[in-house]
């Protein structure tokens, strides 16, 4: 039996119900010793208000936390839906056999000592657990997890400190690769006025994986916002399908990627793969799937809190941001952050207020200059803030409010402002947030939290959470169906690929032939094998040429001295030919297996890299960035998960430094040639190629992709087969 792959996902929700909503629970390894995991797990389960039967299992029997303990699971008189196993790894197999004999339907394994320790013994132990579970129709969470939290069912089944918190129902559900982060995310959500409904650390994912849990959350009527604290996922295609289901269900997905290191990318042969890396691949996949991406736990909590109420805005009107501060300096801070995060402010472009808002400001006797952001010291009394809010709402302004606050001299002043913010939230339904780096009075923070107004200590985190909210409001993402190659074209390309028997890294000649057949704009290459043929190719080109040496196993010709540019004369060609012959000799190349090519030098305004990389198990990604010999030194690339629409590719490019360059080239083009459109077309053509032949192709490099006055041409190509 294959114990590596996850079980079929169809109908995952019914099979996980015994884990999330068990009618009875056994704690195998329960203990009467205070503070041991087996003791606190029973204690937290009772304290959380779990209404089902609880069966502590301990060989000594007796009583644990006021409950009868049984020497073995087999001694329990009633049925057991779910078992939490807290015995050491060596005893887990026997416990699993007991669960199978008892008919337990869900098992949570809290011990470590399995595949995560990297030994053959640990992996074998985990494989046996998976085999037992699947043979008896059980679902397993873990091993190496610390429990499950379902406040909506009063189920606190674990031993984290936060498993002892009150089980107050909530709409936020989080699946994580780090169980200890429950102790961070749960208190943060409470401080923001939102409760954590579910938290599932998946551990080693021997059976139930993160995608199974996401599927459960999508179908769960108690869940409104889904969070992922993720190291990696097993199946990129399934993640895409689940993200679509989440969009249909109107449940935002918020992702915090752990381990954003580029380690591992350096071993790749293709520039595109080395530049891609796991981090950029995950970011691209999450972006395509519509995930809201955050960089820290506070931003995760803040974003989930803002989205937990469902629709972020009620009624008509614009969604521009209204900013208020208790000082002029604070107003400048939030204005700077709003621009940095791309959040448009309400009012006129210069910050002034028009319409009814401008009219009411004119009535503020003794007021200073009132702009957006609003400096509270300029409005002649905080009571006027509510008048400004009401007037702006009559102008159709129903966007979020951010209040940058210092602690006011008197608590009653803090309270008065807080009540104005609460009333604004009640009227519009739009979120209100506070940011106070120095902190507010505890009573004010508690009051705002009770009204679901979060108070952030870090300004950037606050704006990151707001940015995610705006991304949800502005999202119109739908499914994209890319064009397909014709059957004849696909057959032609596959025939060319199949002709490369035994090769994985193809030569520039073979790579160019395949990509040209796929429709990419490849430069013409003239194969030459002696000085006379080189000279004839130079004469035919009627201009400067490049001479390249092509040899098996050498992917990067420049590094090996196999490229000579700017050849314009017979003497120059003779010298170039000799230089490449010497480079062949220095590299130990079999001269009979090597050749040379001549290409005409094309004038260019920019050199880019375009390509495809494969990131298991996420799939293929398009790559675009600054190219030429500085591709990796500049390390400026964009990734797009395949398939991506032309609109998404164009939008992603436009938001990058590469997009700024392409825009400049378009603006200064004398011929009307669009570099931006051409690059999007090249990436689209490569995407169509990969969708037809991606089962055979690992990566593609086009470096450089030359952008000229009126052309976009691929000069060097490298195809790596899978």
Measuring CA to CA, how many Å separate 337 from each of 323, 435, 467, 483, 656? 11, 12, 11, 41, 19
Structure confidence by residue, pLDDT tens digits, 53-88: 999 999 999 999 999 999 999 999 999 999 999 999
pLDDT for the residue 556: 80
Structure confidence by residue, pLDDT tens digits, 651-673: 999 988 999 999 999 999 988 99
Determine the 3-state secondary structure of 264 from DSSP. coil
Q: Nearest to residue 238, comparing CAs of 212, 260, 220, 218?
A: 212
Other residues' Cβ atoms within 10 Å of the Cβ of residue 525? 22
Determine the 3-state secondary structure of 198 from DSSP. strand
DSSP secondary structure, 534-545, as one string: HHHHHHHHTS-E
pLDDT for the residue 27: 98
Domain residue limits, the chain: 12-260+270-306, 320-446+458-471, 487-600, 606-721
Other residues' Cβ atoms within 10 Å of the Cβ of residue 613? 27
Domains 12-260+270-306 and 606-721 share a fold: no
The answer to whether residue 7 scores a pLDDT higher than 50 is no
Measuring CA to CA, how many Å separate 515 from each of 494, 596, 718? 11, 19, 9
Q: In the predicted model, what is the mean pLDDT of residues 289-296? A: 93
DSSP letter for 318, please: B
Structure confidence by residue, pLDDT tens digits, 670-691: 889 999 999 999 999 999 999 9
Least confident range from 1-15, 297-311, 631-645: namely 1-15
Structure confidence by residue, pLDDT tens digits, 424-449: 999 988 899 999 999 899 999 999 99
Structure confidence by residue, pLDDT tens digits, 577-605: 999 999 999 999 888 889 999 999 998 99
pLDDT for the residue 265: 42
> What distance in Å separates the CA atoms of residue 374 and residue 327, rounded to the nearest whole number?
9
Least confident range from 13-17, 498-502, 519-523: namely 498-502
Domain 487-600: which topology?
A: Dna Ligase; domain 1 (3.30.1490)
pLDDT for the residue 1: 30
Structure confidence by residue, pLDDT tens digits, 370-414: 999 999 989 999 999 999 999 999 999 989 999 999 887 778 888
The percent of the chain in helix, strand and coil, each rounded to the nearest 5, is 45, 20, 40
Other residues' Cβ atoms within 10 Å of the Cβ of residue 341? 16
Half-sphere exposure of 49 (CA within 13 A, CB side): 10
The answer to whether residue 128 scores a pLDDT higher than 90 is yes
Mean pLDDT for all residues in the chain: 90
DSSP letter for 103, please: T
Structure confidence by residue, pLDDT tens digits, 162-217: 999 999 999 999 999 999 999 999 999 999 999 999 999 999 999 999 999 999 99
- Give the pLDDT band of residue 306 (cuts 50, 70, 90): very high
Which CATH number is 12-260+270-306 given? 3.40.50.720
Element (H, E) at 435: strand 432-435
Which CATH number is 606-721 given? 3.30.470.20
pLDDT for the residue 267: 42
Least confident range from 174-188, 299-313, 349-363, 670-684: namely 299-313
Q: Which residues of 435-451 are buried (b: 16+ CB within 10 A; e: fewer)?
A: bbeeebeeebbebbbee
Cα distance between the two ends of the chain = 26
pLDDT for the residue 629: 61
Q: In the predicted model, what is the mean pLDDT of residues 134-145? A: 96
pLDDT for the residue 470: 84
Q: In the predicted model, what is the mean pLDDT of residues 143-160? A: 96
Determine the 3-state secondary structure of 210 from DSSP. helix
- Give the pLDDT band of residue 12 (cuts 50, 70, 90): low
The answer to whether residue 529 scores a pLDDT higher than 50 is yes
Higher pLDDT, 16 or 310: 16
> What distance in Å separates the CA atoms of residue 296 and residue 302, rounded to the nearest whole number?
10
Determine the length of the chain. Answer: 722
Higher pLDDT, 1 or 302: 302
The answer to whether residue 160 scores a pLDDT higher than 60 is yes
pLDDT for the residue 189: 96
The answer to whether residue 50 scores a pLDDT higher than 50 is yes
Number of H helices, E strands in the chain: 23, 29
pLDDT for the residue 501: 75
pLDDT for the residue 572: 95
pLDDT for the residue 477: 58
Domain 320-446+458-471: which topology?
A: Rossmann fold (3.40.50)
The angle, 0 to 180 degrees and rounded to 10, between the axes of the packed helices 646-654 and 657-667 is: 90
- Give the pLDDT band of residue 228 (cuts 50, 70, 90): very high
Structure confidence by residue, pLDDT tens digits, 260-279: 655 444 444 444 444 445 88
């Amino acid at each position: 039996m294959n114990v590596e792959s996850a079980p079929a996902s169809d109908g995952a929700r019914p099979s996980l119900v015994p884990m999330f909503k068990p009618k009875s629970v056994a704690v195998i390894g329960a203990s009467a010793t205070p503070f041991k995991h087996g003791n606190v797990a029973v204690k937290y389960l009772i304290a959380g208000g779990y209404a089902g039967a609880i069966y502590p299992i301990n060989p000594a029997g007796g009583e644990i936390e006021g409950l009868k303990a049984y020497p073995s699971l087999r001694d329990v008189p009633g049925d057991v839906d779910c078992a939490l196993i807290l015995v050491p790894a060596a005893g887990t197999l026997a416990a699993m056999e007991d669960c199978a004999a008892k008919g337990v339907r869900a098992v949570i394994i809290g011990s470590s000592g399995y595949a995560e320790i990297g030994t053959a013994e640990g992996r074998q132990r985990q494989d046996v657990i998976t085999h037992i579970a699947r043979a008896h129709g059980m679902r397993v969470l873990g091993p190496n997890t610390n429990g499950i939290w379902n406040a909506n069912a009063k189920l606190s089944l674990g031993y984290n400190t936060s498993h002892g918190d009150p089980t107050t129902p909530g709409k936020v559900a989080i699946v994580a690769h780090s169980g200890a982060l429950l102790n961070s995310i749960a208190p943060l959500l409470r401080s923001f006025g939102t409760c954590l409904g579910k938290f599932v650390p998946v551990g080693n994912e021997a059976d139930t994986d993160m995608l199974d849990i996401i599927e459960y959350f999508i179908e769960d009527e108690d869940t409104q916002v889904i969070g992922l604290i993720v190291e990696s996922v097993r199946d990129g295609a399934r993640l895409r399908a689940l993200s679509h289901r989440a969009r249909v269900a109107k449940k935002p997905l918020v992702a915090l990627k752990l381990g954003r290191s580029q380690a591992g990318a350096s071993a790749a042969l293709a520039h595109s793969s080395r530049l891609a890396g796991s981090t950029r691949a995950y970011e691209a996949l999450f972006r395509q799937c519509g995930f809201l991406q955050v960089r820290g736990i506070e931003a995760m909590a803040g974003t989930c809190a803002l989205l937990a109420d469902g629709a972020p805005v009620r009624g008509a009107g614009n969604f521009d941001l209204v900013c208020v501060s208790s000082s002029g300096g604070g107003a400048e801070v939030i204005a700077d952050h709003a621009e940095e995060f791309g959040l448009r402010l309400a009012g006129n472009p210069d910050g002034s207020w028009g319409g009814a808002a401008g009219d009411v400001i004119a009535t503020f006797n003794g007021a200073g200059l009132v702009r957006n952001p609003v400096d509270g010291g300029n409005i002649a009394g905080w009571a006027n803030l509510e008048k400004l809010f009401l007037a702006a709402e009559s102008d159709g302004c129903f966007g979020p409010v951010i209040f940058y606050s210092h602690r006011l001299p008197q608590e009653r002043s803090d309270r008065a402002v807080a009540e104005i913010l609460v009333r604004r939230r009640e009227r519009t339904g739009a979120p209100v947030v506070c940011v106070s780096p120095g902190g507010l009075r505890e009573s004010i923070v508690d009051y705002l939290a009770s009204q679901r107004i979060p108070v952030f200590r870090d300004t950037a985190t606050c704006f990151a959470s707001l940015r995610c909210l705006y991304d949800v409001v502005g999202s119109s993402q739908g499914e994209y169906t890319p064009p397909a190659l014709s059957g004849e074209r696909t057959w032609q390309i596959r025939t060319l690929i199949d002709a490369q028997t035994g090769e994985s890294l193809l030569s520039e000649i073979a790579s160019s032939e395949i990509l040209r057949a796929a429709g990419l704009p490849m430069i013409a290459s003239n194969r030459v094998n002696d000085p006379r043929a080189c000279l004839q190719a130079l004469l035919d080109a009627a201009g400067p040429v490049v001479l390249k040496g092509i040899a098996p196993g050498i992917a990067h010709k420049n590094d090996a001295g196999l490229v000579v540019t700017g050849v314009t004369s017979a003497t120059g060609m003779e010298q170039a030919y000799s230089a490449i012959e010497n480079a062949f000799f220095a590299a130990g190349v079999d001269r009979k297996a090597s050749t040379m090519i001549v290409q005409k030098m094309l004038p260019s305004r920019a050199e880019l890299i375009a390509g495809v990389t494969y990131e298991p198990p996420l799939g293929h990604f398009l790559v675009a960035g600054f190219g030429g010999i500085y591709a990796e030194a500049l390390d400026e690339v964009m990734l797009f998960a395949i398939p991506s629409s032309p609109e998404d590719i164009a939008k992603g490019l436009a938001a990058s430094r590469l997009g700024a360059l392409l825009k400049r080239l378009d603006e200064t083009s004398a011929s009307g040639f669009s570099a931006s459109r051409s690059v999007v077309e090249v990436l689209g053509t490569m995407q169509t190629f990969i969708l037809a032949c991606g089962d055979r192709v690992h990566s593609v490099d086009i470096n450089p992709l030359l952008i000229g006055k009126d052309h976009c041409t691929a000069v060097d190509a490298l195809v790596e087969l899978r």
